[in-house]
Amino acid sequence: MIPMSNAIVALVVIALMLVATLTWSQAAFSSLDSASQSLKQTTQTTQEVARTDITVMSSQRNGSFVEVYVLNSGKVHLAQFANWDVVVQHYDASDDYHIGHLPYTEDANPGDNQWTVAAIYSDSSLAKEEIFEPGILNPGEVLFLKLNLVPSPGSGTTNMVTVCTANGVVASAQFEG
């Protein structure tokens, strides 16, 4: 016969083991759910990036500004221009090399070393500004970027502009100073 004190201890030990097992199981399932959600998000992001494509149609200096025309050649609607990156490598009139990440501004005339979206055109003919979903670069539309570089690119120099969307798709083009 088992003494009563041993039975109580055995019941307490069994209860502690059950609580510990349930707690561990809950933590394991929570970790598994978190990993599953992360994998799902990564898959969605990867699929979006695979469907995103941009092409720099042209880039040229126009007075003190550089104009860049970017075609949305993918299948994803693009926006969040404040989260885009524009990097410019250029030579000034003294042949000094400059490279910089330009911050985005919503002003129509960007300040020193800033860029803005000057317009979005409905197609590559640049004949008509967008009407459908203003402010969103839909597939087939062209984004007109206006960059203000200080110091200005020197005449006869070859320079480069790189544009990167919010989801990491990159396009580059050269332009003459």
Q: Give the per-residue pLDDT at 44.
A: 85
In this prediction, residue 46 has a pLDDT band, given cuts at 50, 70 and 90, of: confident
Q: 60-80: per-residue pLDDT in tens?
A: 999 889 999 999 999 999 999
Q: Give the per-residue pLDDT at 42.
A: 85
Helices H, strands E: what count in the chain? Answer: 1, 8
Q: 94-135: per-residue pLDDT in tens?
A: 999 999 999 999 999 999 999 999 999 999 999 999 988 999
Write out the two tokens for 90.
């250029």
Query: What is the 8-class DSSP label of residue 152?
Result: P
Q: In degrees to the nearest 10, what's the CA dihedral of 146, 150, 154, 158? A: -60
What's the pTM? 0.80
% of the chain exceeding 90 in pLDDT: 76
